[in-house]
Structure 1
Amino acid sequence: MKVYSKQTVQHVDASIEECWAFFSSPRNLQKMTPQSMGFQITDFDEKNMYAGQIIQYKVTPLLGIKLTWVTEITIVKEGSYFIDEQRFGPYALWHHKHFFEPTENGVKMTDLVHYAVPFGILGRLMNTLIIKNKLKEIFEYREKRVNEIFNSK
């Protein structure tokens, strides 16, 4: 199985407390996801993020096909980082680390995703032709939304 990675780094013009409060809340996931993904939380316990939390979604990544995606928040270090991992969904592996580091002018936010695609050589071809570009689009949208919400003051 081939494992791919995607890393993004962005400055957030906010305090670590404001940044953490926003990004550690599953309620804000939809605000950070392109509408074209058809992202919808279908089950979530409405609690603040904690290790062991399960969140279920519906996503429509391609061709109008709805998929169920279940993630678990596996590690949370308040104000510093958290990790979500896919338990069921479109990837063979999805491990997403979210880091928050205070700076003189706000917060350095780093995302690091490791993922693998099922279906062997067909999955690798799909990654080359579609999936890596879709992830790029999603993270570019997220960067734009962060700029609109935090960096346009």
Structure 2
Amino acid sequence: MSSTYVLERAQLIPRSRDEVFAFFADAGNLQMITPPWLHFRILTQLPLEMRTGALIEYRLRLYGLPIWWRTRIEEYEPCERFVDRQLRGPYKRWHHTHEFSETPAGTLMKDTVRYQLPFGPLGTLTHRLTVQRLLKRIFDFRYETIERHFAAAQVL
């Protein structure tokens, strides 16, 4: 049985929940918040109507190797949350919950990713050696990009 790992992140964004949710519900923004060294491309024709059942196809490169990824939106509650699940991709399991709540200071966005790697003990070793750090770098980039995007948007 593969270990299940959990990645949790929270970010306070000083904007309305409607504005923040609209940004994340636009699949076209995924490319902006993904590090350029992943060579991430959305293959699904945009704009995509975000809804339960929507399928999104991507391609990226990691260490020079192409990776095709397909996710399905499992749950979609406008301005509250949405959940995507990997149907095809590098993980044995990838289940990503995005939650949005209002606070006096803006919108609290929470990401919870539950994931498993293939290959049993080899997957566990790979997680320790590379995957854990790689995901941290990806989500750190995402955090910083979101900070800059909403700060720049606020100045206008």
TM-score w.r.t. the length of structure 1 is 0.96
RMSD: 1.1
The 5-angstrom pairing of residues 86-97 of structure 1 reads: 86-97=86-97
In 2, Cα distance between equivalents of 1:44 and 1:7: 30
In 2, Cα distance between equivalents of 1:142 and 1:42: 20
In 2, Cα distance between equivalents of 1:79 and 1:60: 32
The 5-angstrom pairing of residues 26-41 of structure 1 reads: 26-41=27-42
Task: Name the residue aligned to 2:83.
Answer: 83
In 2, Cα distance between equivalents of 1:44 and 1:6: 29
In 2, Cα distance between equivalents of 1:132 and 1:77: 29
Instruction: Please identify runs of 4+ aligned residues in structure 1 that moved more than 2 A.
Output: 44-48
In 2, Cα distance between equivalents of 1:23 and 1:42: 17
Superimposed CA distance per residue, residues 56-104 of structure 1 (whole angstroms, 9 cap, x where no aligned partner): 000112x210010000011001100000000000000000000000111
1:13, distance to aligned residue in structure 2 (A) = 1.3
Task: Name the residue aligned to 1:46.
Answer: 47
Q: Say whether residues 1:137 and 2:137 are aligned partners.
A: yes
The 5-angstrom pairing of residues 9-28 of structure 1 reads: 9-28=10-29
Q: Say whether residues 1:146 and 2:146 are aligned partners.
A: yes
1:151, distance to aligned residue in structure 2 (A) = 3.3
In 1, Cα distance between equivalents of 2:97 and 2:135: 15
Q: Which amino acid letter does the alignment assign opposite residue 10 of structure 2?
A: V
Q: Which 5+ residue runs of structure 2 have no aligned equivalent?
A: none
Question: How many corresponding residue pairs?
Answer: 152
Give the share of equivalent positions with the same residue, in percent.
34
